[in-house]
Amino acid sequence: MTRENFQVNLRGIVEILSHHLYSSPRVYLRELIQNARDAVVARRALDPTAPIGIEIEVDQYGGEVIVRDEGIGLSEDEMRSLLATIGASSKRGEFLAARRQYLGQFGIGLLSCFLIADEIEVRSRSARGEDAPTVTWLGSADGTYTVRRAEQPLDRPGTEVRVRARVDDREWVGYQRVHLLAEQFASLIDLPVVLRAAGTPERSLVSTRTPPWAMDEESAAWWCRQQLGFTPLAVLPVEVQAAGVRGVAYIADSPGRVGNRRGDVVHSHGMFVAADNTQLTPHWAFFVQLAVEAGELGLTASRESLQDGELLGQVREQIGVQIRAQIERLAERDPLAFARFLEVHDKGLLAMAVHDREMLDFVVRHLRWETSEGPLTLHRIFRTRGGAQYVTGMAAFSAFAPLMRARGTVLVNGGYVYGAEILRLVEEDRTRYRGLEPFSVEGLLRELPHPSGADSDLAARIRAHAEPVLSRLGMGLELRSFEPDSIPVLAIGLSGGFEVEDAEEPDPWAGFAEEFVTTPRGPRIVFNLQSPPVRALAGDMDARVRSEAITGLYVLGLLMAGESIDERHSELLSGTLRTLIEAATGG
């Protein structure tokens, strides 16, 4: 049996790779620069003293771009196998050990030129022999190619690639367009890449720029403003030495959208890969934008993204660890910057903490919550106060925070976006956090003392006057005595108000042991017997004035509970104020 090679339809390969592999015709220049750079690296591995120049010549009137390098060059046999075996690299053999230093594969990359041209000419002279001839490869978009000895030999080893654009694609070989693309693709390559217009001696260096990860913090921030368009709140270095990854993480100065983070700027061995990559930053770090050298991380065939794999996952995880650790160090060394970070990104941090346990722990340690004792982190509450209670509504916090402060219990406001979800997660995670409980109105009422002693007679008189009025308003009455006396009433059990537990069923045998005080259900007004306005209800006054005063306290309780006041309540309040004013003026 005779073994035969597959017959490759080169025209079909050209069509697939040149029109479906790459995102834009602009990549043709990147591929040419990558090939030239790889050829130079291979030449330097053979001869460390070899020249390292790359030149891009633009003949915009002739519609041509020519890329020259003084790299390893190609022999005639390599020329013949260049496209006959798609994906084969011209950099194998003695250079295989240095494969990670190369960016691409010459054969595939060269096909990108067919995005703008119908013909590509490659002249090359191998550096592996002193008398190596110059060979010309001429490839066509129809899938054919020829190889022959060059009529005009090169003076020295290296390669020259000439691309003549189709008439409809001449925009891609204009000098200004090529200049912009060359600076984007090659600015961080660590060897000289020069650009010149055909027929002129002037050259423009477009490479060997200092990357942001090699700059001081101030310069790196300036780079961010120029290239990314924002002034970072902080510049954090990141590095994974085992993978050769190095870069900076910029913290954005405006809130981002969780799940819609800015992409990262990625380079590979100095060559630009992408400005919108999302593979290197953990999903929770929505507030970060990276500028990074990808090092040993492999590129996909199009060289526009990174190959997924175990190494990429490990690098991403390590970058996340470093970002989180440096943000925490920022809290120690620059509290103002850290406070600004929290101010800008607090909502996003809470959103991520709902799904990420590590971010939840970060929020517990660093995010300051509104509490009855002022702004505090949950970590500090657990450490210094032993625990706290929380509410999930703004109205409940406003109503009960002063009372809880007077009782020495911390009340946390969870009425903000994601606040309730975060506090419930903390409450449920008993292995890491202990001491956070949901606030219970009924629990509070059970702790507030009932009238006793001298207040018993006062309470009886107030109850006699208040219950008929409140009953007509559809409210029950509770009498308690608590601090601060600046809170005359509490409204509880309202339909749109605070979360209220069902009152415990009374123990039918409790009366045999001690006096059992039942707690009525439904909407109620709690009168504070320590409050001067409430105590005044027991005094001598006109019955109509007292009734209106009780009505006014009822409306005040609704307002303090965050209830919406309708037209009926407005009329009640207006009548109360009119009666009290008339009584005060003798009207």
> Comparing 10-205 with 337-444, is the CATH topology the same?
no
pLDDT of residue 455: 86
Please tell me whether the overall predicted TM-score, pTM, comes out greater than 0.75 for this model.
no
Which residues are CB-neighbours of 15 under 8 A, at least 6 positions away? none
Residue with tokens 């509410």: 391
Say yes or no to pLDDT of 49 above 50.
yes
Q: Report d(CA 50, CA 44) in Å as an integer.
A: 6
Among 25-34, 110-119, 136-145, 509-518, the range of highest mean pLDDT: 25-34
pLDDT of residue 97: 35
CATH superfamily of 10-205: Histidine kinase-like ATPase, C-terminal domain (3.30.565.10)
Could you tell me if 325 and 282 are in contact, meaning their C-beta atoms sit under 8 angstroms apart? no
Q: What is the mean pLDDT of residues 53-60?
A: 94
- CA 436 distance to own-chain centroid: 28
528 phi, psi to nearest 5 deg: -95, 110
Domain boundaries, the chain: 10-205, 212-334, 337-444, 450-504+516-585
**CATH tag for 450-504+516-585 (out of 1.20.120.790, 1.10.340.30, 1.10.760.10, 3.30.230.10):** 1.20.120.790
Confidence class for position 142, pLDDT limits 50, 70, 90: confident
Say yes or no to pLDDT of 93 above 70.
no
pLDDT of residue 431: 87
Q: Considering only the C-alpha atoms of the chain, give the largest distance between any 2 of them, rounded to a whole number of Å.
A: 123
Confidence class for position 280, pLDDT limits 50, 70, 90: very high
CA dihedral 514, 518, 519, 524 (to 10 degrees): -130
CATH topology of domain 337-444: Rossmann fold (3.40.50)
Q: Report d(CA 551, CA 575) in Å as an integer.
A: 9
Confidence class for position 11, pLDDT limits 50, 70, 90: low
Q: What is the mean pLDDT of residues 510-535?
A: 68
Q: Count of H helices and E strands in the chain?
A: 18, 21
Q: What is the mean pLDDT of residues 429-441?
A: 90
CATH class of 212-334: alpha beta
Say yes or no to pLDDT of 264 above 90.
yes
Q: Report d(CA 549, CA 365) in Å as an integer.
A: 47
Distance from the first to the final alpha carbon of the chain:
122
Q: What is the mean pLDDT of residues 282-286?
A: 85
Q: Report d(CA 587, CA 573) in Å as an integer.
A: 18
Mean of pLDDT over the chain: 85
Q: What is the mean pLDDT of residues 169-180?
A: 95
Beta bridge partners of 377: 368
Q: Which residues of 550-568 are buried (b: 16+ CB within 10 A; e: fewer)?
A: bbbbbbbbbbbbbbeeeee
H helices within 381-483, ranges in order?
394-407, 419-428, 441-447, 455-472
Residue with tokens 């991520």: 352
Could you tell me if 529 and 481 are in contact, meaning their C-beta atoms sit under 8 angstroms apart? yes
Q: What is the mean pLDDT of residues 91-113?
A: 51
Among 417, 478, 411, 402, CA closest to 439: 411
> pLDDT tens digits for 569-580?
888 888 888 888
